[in-house]
Amino acid sequence: MAFEGLTEKLNATFKRLRGKGRLTENDVREAMREVRLALLEADVSYKVVKDFVASVTERAVGTDVLDSLTPAQQVVKIVSDELTKLMGGANAKIAMANNGPTVVMMVGLQGAGKTTTTAKLGGLMRKQLQKRPLLAACDVYRPAAIEQLKVVGGQLDLPVFEQGRGDPVEIAQNAIRHARDHGSDMVFLDTAGRLHVDEELMDELKRMKAAVHPNEILLVVDAMTGQDAVNAASAFDEALGIDGVILTKLDG
């Protein structure tokens, strides 16, 4: 798994801390250097690592921690708390529409797993929230993209709206009308991707956003791209104002 190597390194660091019993400020700072190295080796952004280590160190070298009976355990808890805060301490939920179907635009670069994720998310909404999702094939450029959505949608027994190679914005609008007419309360728009961010892609997505007013715009990112995922997320957010990011291939 993606986090196994990081987990092993952090566990080794904490094991050494626990073996010391009483801790000094130097012990904590040495442990934080090892935590910093482990995070950097896991391809975490340098700025994120710097801020994270500074925050943990500030809390961990306090007198109330070092003078306690279990300082090592408290340091471990501080690291755990800060990691939870860094990754997001609360469950994120899709904003549902008050009237009409909830529209979710799925965006991202080609090869990130957007089409499969679209179907999986639709299946999850049906299973957990008893929703009636409709998948809309708005990627009219990639070979077999429409067929792929139909296949993965069929595997989950989800309806798929497609109109072939027409205008993606019109397809999205027609999909929402179809959802209203046929009792679907969620529409997932599987939009086109590119091998890299370009003006043509963003212009199409902007037109679609303006036409359908989605309740959520979710960016699908390949976790194996490492820190470059941050650049992609920044570009999509600047152009569209994304509401969330889904990381795929975390088992890679």
The domain limits of the chain are 4-87, 102-248
End-to-end CA distance of the chain: 7
Residue 6 has pLDDT above 80, yes or no: no
- For residue 127, the model assigns a pLDDT of 95
The values of phi and psi at residue 104, to 5°, are: -120, 115
Residue 112: partners with Cβ closer than 8 Å, 6 or more residues away: 193, 220, 221, 222, 248
Residue 64 has pLDDT above 90, yes or no: no
- For residue 27, the model assigns a pLDDT of 82
Residue 252 has pLDDT above 60, yes or no: no
Per-residue pLDDT averaged across 175-183, rounded? 96
**What span, in angstroms and rounded, lies between the C-alpha atoms of 5 and 40?**
12
**What span, in angstroms and rounded, lies between the C-alpha atoms of 100 and 185?**
7
Give the pair of three-digit tokens for residue 29. Answer: 């700072």
What does the pLDDT look like over 159-173, one tens digit per residue? 999 998 889 999 999
Identity of residue 17:
L
* Helix/strand number for the chain, H first, E second: 10, 6
Per-residue pLDDT averaged across 234-242, rounded? 91
pLDDT tier at 110, thresholds 50, 70, 90: confident
Residue 13 has pLDDT above 60, yes or no: yes
Pick the range with the lowest mean pLDDT from 83-92, 159-168, 234-243.
83-92
What does the pLDDT look like over 188-224, one tens digit per residue? 999 998 777 788 889 999 999 999 999 999 999 988 8
Residue 1 has pLDDT above 50, yes or no: no
What does the pLDDT look like over 118-158, one tens digit per residue? 999 999 999 999 999 999 999 998 878 999 999 999 999 99
Residue 72: CB atoms within 10 Å: 22
Candidate CATH numbers 1.20.120.140, 2.60.120.10, 3.40.50.1220, 1.10.3720.10; the one for domain 4-87: 1.20.120.140
The values of phi and psi at residue 194, to 5°, are: -135, 170
DSSP code for 139: -
> In Å, what is the CA distance from 142 to each residue of 55, 114, 197, 216, 240?
45, 12, 15, 23, 22
Residue 135 near residue 119, CB atoms below 8 Å: yes
Kindly give the interhelix angle for 4-20 and 25-41, rounded to the nearest 10 degrees: 170
Identity of residue 126:
R
pLDDT tier at 251, thresholds 50, 70, 90: low
> Which tops the pLDDT comparison, 151 or 232?
151
Residue 2 has pLDDT above 70, yes or no: no
> In Å, what is the CA distance from 117 to each residue of 62, 105, 109, 143, 163?
44, 12, 13, 18, 21
**What span, in angstroms and rounded, lies between the C-alpha atoms of 67 and 58?**
15
What does the pLDDT look like over 16-56, one tens digit per residue? 777 776 778 888 888 888 889 888 887 788 888 999 999 98
Radius of gyration of the chain (CA): 23
**What span, in angstroms and rounded, lies between the C-alpha atoms of 116 and 191?**
12
- For residue 3, the model assigns a pLDDT of 61
Residue 92 has pLDDT above 80, yes or no: no
**What span, in angstroms and rounded, lies between the C-alpha atoms of 161 and 155?**
15
- What is the topology classification, in CATH, of domain 102-248? Rossmann fold (3.40.50)
